[in-house]
């Protein structure tokens, strides 16, 4: 696939807590790092997202006595999966994977920093209304096609991809550069929803 100057590689949440030994480790998550580093060399424009939670975030199971990680509860903005405490602001787990090449990133979008609401997507908080500002940045820069890689396929990558399509961007998910949590069928559901939204799926860029 030919990479154009109006393309962006959007790297989702390749952080220590989502990799081996992390608080919310994605199986084989570390494997995306060399793939993403190789992809980064192909693009003139790269942006990163970073989960960035305050301590006691409302999406943490520890903030809801009697609840356990991976349970689902109702929040004012809808259903919310409860997670182990992860990606706490300034903590080692929130840092990017030490082998991830970040020098060429033009933008880092931090998300999930509002205590009362979680944020999977690079574009919106989980209320699906509160924007991160990424769409405006991309439009002002004249970037029209988004390639996604990172963690996890069925949560933050999925939500980002569907929102990119909803906002009118051509969207390509690079499967080799992603890994999934696959919680109770979430991966199959994510693939189906992305296909419906018009997200293009490729294994890799050769």
DSSP designation for 122: S
Q: What is the pLDDT of residue 10?
A: 98
Q: Which residues contact 206 (CB under 8 A, 6 or more apart)?
A: 1
φ, ψ of residue 165 in degrees (nearest 5): -65, -40
CB atoms within 10 A of CB 29: 26
Encode pLDDT of 66-108 as tens digits.
999 999 999 999 999 999 999 999 999 999 999 999 999 999 9
Token pair, residue 93, equals: 């787990």
73, containing H or E segment: strand 72-75
Encode pLDDT of 119-152 as tens digits.
999 999 999 999 999 999 999 999 999 999 999 9
d(CA 29, CA 94): 15
Q: What is the pLDDT of residue 33?
A: 98
Q: What is the pLDDT of residue 173?
A: 98
Q: What is the pLDDT of residue 184?
A: 87
Q: Does position 54 have pLDDT exceeding 90, yes or no?
A: yes
Q: Give me the active site residues, please.
A: 13, 111, 156
């Amino acid at each position: 696939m030919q990479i154009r100057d109006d393309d962006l590689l959007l790297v989702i949440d390749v952080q220590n807590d989502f990799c081996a030994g992390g608080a919310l480790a994605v199986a084989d998550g570390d494997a995306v790092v060399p793939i993403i580093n190789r992809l980064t060399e192909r693009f003139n424009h790269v942006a990163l997202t970073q989960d960035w939670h305050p301590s006691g975030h409302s999406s943490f199971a520890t903030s809801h006595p009697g609840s356990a990680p991976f349970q689902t509860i109702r929040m004012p903005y809808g259903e919310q999966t409860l997670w182990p405490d992860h990606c706490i602001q300034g903590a080692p787990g929130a840092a990017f994977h030490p082998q991830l090449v970040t020098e060429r990133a033009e933008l880092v979008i931090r998300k999930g920093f509002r205590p009362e609401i979680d944020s999977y997507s690079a574009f919106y908080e989980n209320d699906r209304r509160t924007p991160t500002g990424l769409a405006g940045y991309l439009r002002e820069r004249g970037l029209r096609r988004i390639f996604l890689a990172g963690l996890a396929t069925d949560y933050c990558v999925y939500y980002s991809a569907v929102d990119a399509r909803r906002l009118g961007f051509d969207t390509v998910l690079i499967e080799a550069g992603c890994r999934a949590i696959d919680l109770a069928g979430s991966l199959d559901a994510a693939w189906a929803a992305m296909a419906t939204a018009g997200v293009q799926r490729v294994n890799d860029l050769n």
